Structure formats: C-alpha cells, structure tokens
Amino acid sequence: MTDVMSGMDQLTGPLKVQFANITSQIEDLDSQLNVEDASKTKLLNQAAKGVESDGEKLVSQVAAFINSYHGADRVGLITALRKSIQKDFAKEVDDFVEANVQKSDAPRVSDDEQAAIREKRRELVKMAQSLYGVLENFGGAEGLEKPSQLRGPTGKRGKTGPRLKNFQFSVNGDVVGSKLSDVQKRFELGSVGDVRVAVEAAVSDFDWAMPPESFDFVVKNETVHAEKVAGTNGSASSEEDEDDDDTSTEDDGLFSEEI
C-alpha cells in the first residue's frame, strides 16, 4: 500500500508543480486587467463554498417544482424566478461585493492589451483545468482550487442582446447616456445583461420590441429613468454596437454555471 501511495506521489508531484506555475501566471494576468472581475469572482466563489451543499439541496427542491411545468409555462416560470431573485437579492450581493472586493491600483491598460491578456488567460485556464482533472482522477487535487474563466469581452464579437434605441437614461435628473452600456458603466455592473435583467424585473412583461414611452428601474438602490426621445422610434435592436461591451462568450445571468 505504501508503495502504491509513493507511486501516486511521484506521478502527481510534478503535475502539482506545473499546476502551481500556471495558476501563478493566471494570477499575474488578473492583476494586469482593468476590471475587477477576477476579484469579484473569487470573492463570490469563496462565499458560496461554505454553503454549496445547501444550495444544491435548494436547487433540487426548486427543480422538482419546475419539472412539473412544460413548454412556455416552464420557461415563463424560470424567467419569473430569475426576475424575483434579481429584484429581492441582487442589491445584497452588489453591496457585499462593493464592501469586500479588493480595488486594483494597477495602471490602466488599453483595450487591445486587455483583450490579449484575457485571451492568454483563457488558454492558461484551459490548461490548468485539464491538469486539475488529471490530479482529481488520481486523488491529488485535494487543497487545490480549480481556476475559472472570467466573464467579459473575449473572442470574436458576435450579435448581442436586445438594446433600446433612441432612449435617454438619467439618474436624479443627471443624464447617464443613451445606451444600456452607459447605465452599465455608470454603476460598474458586470455586463449589459445585468441592466436588462433590472429592466425586466421592474417592468412587468417588458417588451423590447415595443417598449413604453418611459419607465423606471432600480440599479444598486438608485432609480434610473428611461425616456424615449421625442419623435423617434424607441424599439429594440440587436445589431452590433461598438460601444456596448456586453460581448461575453459565456452566460452572464444569475443562472450562469460559474459566478
């Protein structure tokens, strides 16, 4: 038995060293990014770690209820659940992150440099995840943390979600801008998808194709007022917008696989 354990250590030892080197490179890249996605992800994952089993039990209970619905009703129930979670608990999560996330004092890098850093990080994470899988199969992953991909702009730009055309957004009378991405940047949200969820949570049955002339929604406990510019069509568009940085290649909602 001792010989077997010794053989395992000889196999996993070099892999652990390689894993540590790669994760060190990932942390170095994280420190160079303009955004604080890495710190937020790590903070929220650490908070969830202690209650993962409770979360799994809760999801199982909810899934059992959802599974009794089918078709449009099932999708509608999932959507309603997502809106309710966003409305009732999103601010609490935002406040926790704001109070606890480590702020970066690193000098700002250009968008092109940031894209290159993200791409390099993405490849390193894939390598680290593969190594973690091997170590896990041989019982050598204990005490190691599996790295995760950042949500954010990566890869080739594609079509984005619905946006509002010819609207003006303001907070306490101060104009924020004319795009959902302006609201996202004003409140330093993770993606424009977070703004869309806030809109849908505030306005029942919100229709992006035929939005109301004006409406209000809440972001981080502040009311955002949206007003259609007079004489224009305020319908939504899904065309590309170079100023909109909601370009994640991964799910960005509350039901994403990784926070």
Structure confidence at residue 37 (pLDDT): 55
pLDDT band for position 223 (50/70/90)?
Answer: very high
Q: What is the pLDDT of residue 8?
A: 64
The H or E element that residue 158 is part of is: none
Binned at pLDDT 50, 70 and 90, residue 171 comes out as: very high
- Buried-state track 13-39, b at ≥16 Cβ within 10 A, e below 16: eebbeebeebbeebeebbeebebbbbb
- Cβ atoms of 41 and 258 within 8 Å: the answer is yes
Tabulate helix, strand, coil % of the chain (nearest 5). Answer: 50, 10, 35
Say what the pLDDT of residue 216 is. Answer: 93
Confidence of residue 256 (pLDDT cuts 50, 70, 90): very low
Q: What is the DSSP string of 128-139?
A: HHHHHHHHHHTT
Among 1-5, 50-54, 178-182, which stretch is predicted with the lowest mean pLDDT? 1-5
pLDDT averaged over every residue in the chain = 76
Residue 13's pLDDT is 81
> What is residue 249's predicted lDDT score, i.e. its pLDDT?
36
AA identity, residue 232: T
Residue 136 has pLDDT above 60, yes or no: yes
Buried b vs exposed e over 125-140: b needs ≥16 C-beta within 10 Å?
A: beebeebbeebeeeeb
User: What number is the average pLDDT over the span 105-122?
Assistant: 76
Q: Which of 78-92, 143-157, 215-229, 233-247 has the highest mean pLDDT?
A: 215-229
Longest CA pairwise span in the chain (Å): 81
Tell which wins on pLDDT, 21 or 45: 21
Residue 23 has pLDDT above 70, yes or no: yes
Contact 254, 191 (CB under 8 A): no
| 138 neighbors 8 (Cβ within 8 angstroms) | yes
Q: Are 33 and 117 in contact (CB under 8 A)?
A: yes
Burial class (CB in 10 A: 0-12, 13-18, 19+), 4: exposed
What is the pLDDT, as a whole number, of residue 257? 36
Model-level pTM? 0.37
pLDDT of 177 reads 92
